[in-house]
Amino acid sequence: MDKSQFFTFYFLLFTFVLSPIAAKASDITQQLHRPLSSSNWQYSRDEADSLLRIGEQQYRSGNGAKTIDSCLQALDIYHSIGDVRSTGLTYELLAKAYIQQDRFKEGEDALRRRLAIARDTKDFQAQIFALNNIAAILLQEGETAAAGRTVQEALTIAQGVNNIEGQGLSLSNLGLVSARLGDYNQAIKLYETALTYRRQKNDPIGEANTLNNLGDAYLAAGNYPDTIGTYGLAMRLARINGDRTIQLRAIDGLVKAHTSVGRNERAFELLQERLVIAQELENLPEQLKTFESYAEFYEHLGNYSTAKNFYERAIAIANTLQDNKRELVLKDRLTKLQKKRN
């Protein structure tokens, strides 16, 4: 399965170049509880809040590097004024930005600092979500057993405080663990149970995310009718509720499923829809991914000249983003494509 199938927390977090050693709750307490300057407190707080809002906007536009810079500046201020809650939220956004840039270790460090704050303040909901997001990174890094233990801890906390939302999320992510282990039947059962909690909570975005996971499992199992139906429902829910990220992920799954059964016209329509969304968002990483998907689609059809054009467009965006790793991968695919043409 594609690694993106298992790393589904597009709602994830935030970033900072942190020590590889996770902070303990006591360390966080010492760091945050500094004497405040009453004359500068409000000004500093407003400045940090503004930086955090800017960081959120930068993240939504796909600019992870600028998000990181804004978060680091905000963290310095929140630390100095002792705002524990805002510090935790900033670490979340910081982790999310690191993850957006594939800097998973730094993202994990930021999340563990977020978790330490949540434990120190007995914020059970924040603990549940931090643990789930840490598990997502562990899955991305291939540490499936550790991810399973981490999600199970989150589920235990959620059950202990009767947090319906947390139970739905944790069960959905346990499904990811089963899928990574190749047990798609167990994954499907876990996703279906997770859906009952997400619907009970009236959480359409969470439901759409779990439906995408379920679609991944059906796709891996070769069950194309259920794959298409499940992704289709996820796409509709995401569209109605304005979550473009989940909508794009559902489109990706549908493109794969329709292409697999020879429904190329429908796959092409979905790719057109994907490009429009990415351009409306002015999100270059998503535009890059769309052009790459177009290239793969036309390569699958044997239309190598059109595929070449889309690979070149994707490479140009990767260069603009200074994503050297992606640029090299795309250039390698283009080289292999040109050999096919010859």
Q: Which residues pair with 93 in a beta bridge?
A: 14
pLDDT tens-digit readout, 267-325: 999 999 999 999 999 999 999 999 999 999 999 999 999 999 999 999 999 999 999 99
Is there a contact between 93 and 55 (Cβ–Cβ < 8 Å)? yes
**Chain segment 119-129, per-residue pLDDT in tens:** 999 999 999 99
pLDDT (tens digit per residue) in 129-141: 999 999 999 998 9
State the Cα–Cα distance between residues 180 and 308, nearest whole angstrom. 33
What is d(CA 254, CA 264) in angstroms, rounded to the nearest whole number? 11
Share of the chain above pLDDT 70, in %: 87
Look up residue 165 and give its two tokens.
């939302």
Q: What is the band of 5 on the pLDDT scale with cuts at 50, 70, 90?
A: very low
35 Rama sector, left if φ>0, alpha if ψ -120 to 50, beta otherwise: beta
* Measured distance CA(123)–CA(335) in Å, rounded: 52
Crossing angle of the two packed helices 204-220 and 224-240, in degrees rounded to 10: 160
Please give the Cα distance from 133 to 141 (Å, whole number): 13
Tens digit of pLDDT for each residue in 21-55?
Answer: 333 333 433 333 344 445 566 768 889 999 999 99
**CA 57 to CA 48: how far, in whole Å?**
14
Domains of the chain: 44-120 (1.25.40.10), 123-202 (1.25.40.10), 283-341 (no CATH)
Which three-class secondary structure state does DSSP give residue 256?
helix
| pLDDT for position 40 | 64
Per DSSP, 120 falls in state H
